């Protein structure tokens, strides 16, 4: 092979590797679900919500989460998880506006968020989610957390965010711009996926 072509290929490979490292979203290299994760998802009823009161739970709540493999997002099991997360956050014992993977014992990038900015204010589930943009314009408001009983406080958040996540029907990465209170919920919930709790920001 001519040196010039080979160098180009090598350079291209290097660029691809760097891009993969930067966005962390290329190949489907996310770890497959463990037996323990499958058992959590496959169980019946409302999911147990982890709290900082419990030491073991705290370790999960402080964990960095990983994506779901794309194959899992197409599975019935992911649909089941989405339904159970919504059932859990909307249960009268919780009555929340959002919930994140670690709060139900899964160190995975998934959140359920109530879209107050949409007609009917539906709960929607976002896998492999990331915040791609945070506006400089801020808003301050009261927050609480299902995982931190009886603590409330004022937190400063961006007015507008751009999120990216994987559409489970197309498996494309899609983006959405969200403002106002719903943007606050997205920031609170995606913080959970990086092991950050709202009390860290008070
Ligand atoms: Zn929370």
Query: pLDDT tens digits for 97-111?
Result: 999 999 999 999 999
Burial class (CB in 10 A: 0-12, 13-18, 19+), 190: buried
Q: Is the per-residue pLDDT at 13 higher than 50? A: no
- CA 153 – ligand 1 centroid, Å: 12
pLDDT above 70: percentage of residues in the chain: 87
Length of the chain, in residues: 202
As beta bridge partners, residue 148 has 145
- Catalytic residue annotation: 189
Buried b (16+ CB within 10 A) or exposed e, 154-186: ebebbebbbbbbbebeeeeeeebebeeebbbbb
pLDDT value, residue 28: 81
**95-126 CB burial, b ≥16 within 10 A, e <16:** ebbbbbbbbbbbbbbbbbbbbeeeeeeebebb
Output the CA 25–ligand 1 centroid distance in Å. Answer: 25
Sign of CA dihedral 146, 148, 154, 157: negative
Asked if residue 57 lies in contact with residue 18, where contact means CB atoms within 8 angstroms, the answer is no
Question: Is it the case that residue 12 has pLDDT exceeding 80?
Answer: no
**Quick one: pLDDT at residue 2?**
45
CB distance 85 to 97 below 8 Å = no
Report CA(180)–ligand 1 centroid distance (Å).
Answer: 17
The CA 178 to ligand 1 mean position distance, Å, reads: 18
Domain segments of the chain as ranges: 1-27, 31-201
Q: What is the pLDDT of residue 27?
A: 53
Q: Where are the alpha helices (DSSP H) in 24-160?
A: 35-42, 55-61, 70-73, 76-90
**CATH number of the 31-201 domain:** 3.90.45.10
Model-level pTM? 0.87
Residue 192 CA to ligand 1 center (angstroms) comes to 7
User: Average pLDDT for residues 125-137, to the nearest whole number?
Assistant: 98
Predicted local distance difference test score (pLDDT) of residue 6? 46
- Among 192, 84, 82, 110, CA closest to 145: 192
Given a cut of 50, whether residue 8 has pLDDT beyond it is: no
Q: Distance (Å, rounded) from C-alpha 201 to C-alpha 52?
A: 16
Determine the angle formed by the axes of helices 76-90 and 35-42, rounding to 10 degrees.
Answer: 60
- pLDDT higher than 50, residue 50: yes
Q: Does 64 have pLDDT greater than 60? A: yes
Per-residue pLDDT for 157 more than 50?
A: yes
The yes-or-no verdict on residue 115 having pLDDT over 80 is yes
Least confident range of 8-12, 115-119, 130-134, 181-185: 8-12
Range with the poorest average pLDDT among 27-31, 70-74, 91-95, 126-130: 27-31
Backbone phi, then psi, for 102, in 5-degree steps? -60, -25
Question: Phi and psi (nearest 5°) for 97?
Answer: -115, 0
């Amino acid at each position: 092979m001519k040196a010039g072509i080979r160098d180009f290929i090598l350079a291209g490979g290097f660029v691809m590797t760097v891009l993969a490292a930067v966005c962390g979203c290329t190949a489907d290299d996310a770890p497959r679900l463990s037996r323990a994760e499958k058992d959590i998802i496959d169980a019946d009823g409302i999911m147990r919500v982890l709290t900082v009161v419990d030491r073991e739970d705290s370790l999960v709540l402080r964990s960095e989460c990983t994506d779901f493999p794309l194959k899992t997002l197409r599975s019935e099991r992911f649909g089941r998880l989405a339904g159970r997360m919504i059932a859990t956050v909307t249960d009268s014992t919780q009555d929340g506006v959002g919930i994140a993977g670690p709060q139900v014992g899964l160190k995975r990038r998934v959140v359920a968020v109530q879209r107050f900015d949409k007609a009917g204010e539906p709960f929607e589930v976002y896998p492999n989610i990331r915040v791609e943009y945070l506006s400089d314009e801020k808003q301050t408001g009261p927050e609480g957390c299902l995982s931190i009983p009886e603590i409330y406080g004022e937190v400063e958040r961006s007015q507008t965010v751009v999120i990216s996540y994987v559409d489970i029907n197309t498996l494309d990465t899609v983006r959405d711009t969200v403002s106002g209170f719903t943007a606050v919920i997205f920031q609170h919930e995606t913080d959970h996926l990086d092991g950050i709790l709202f009390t860290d920001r008070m």
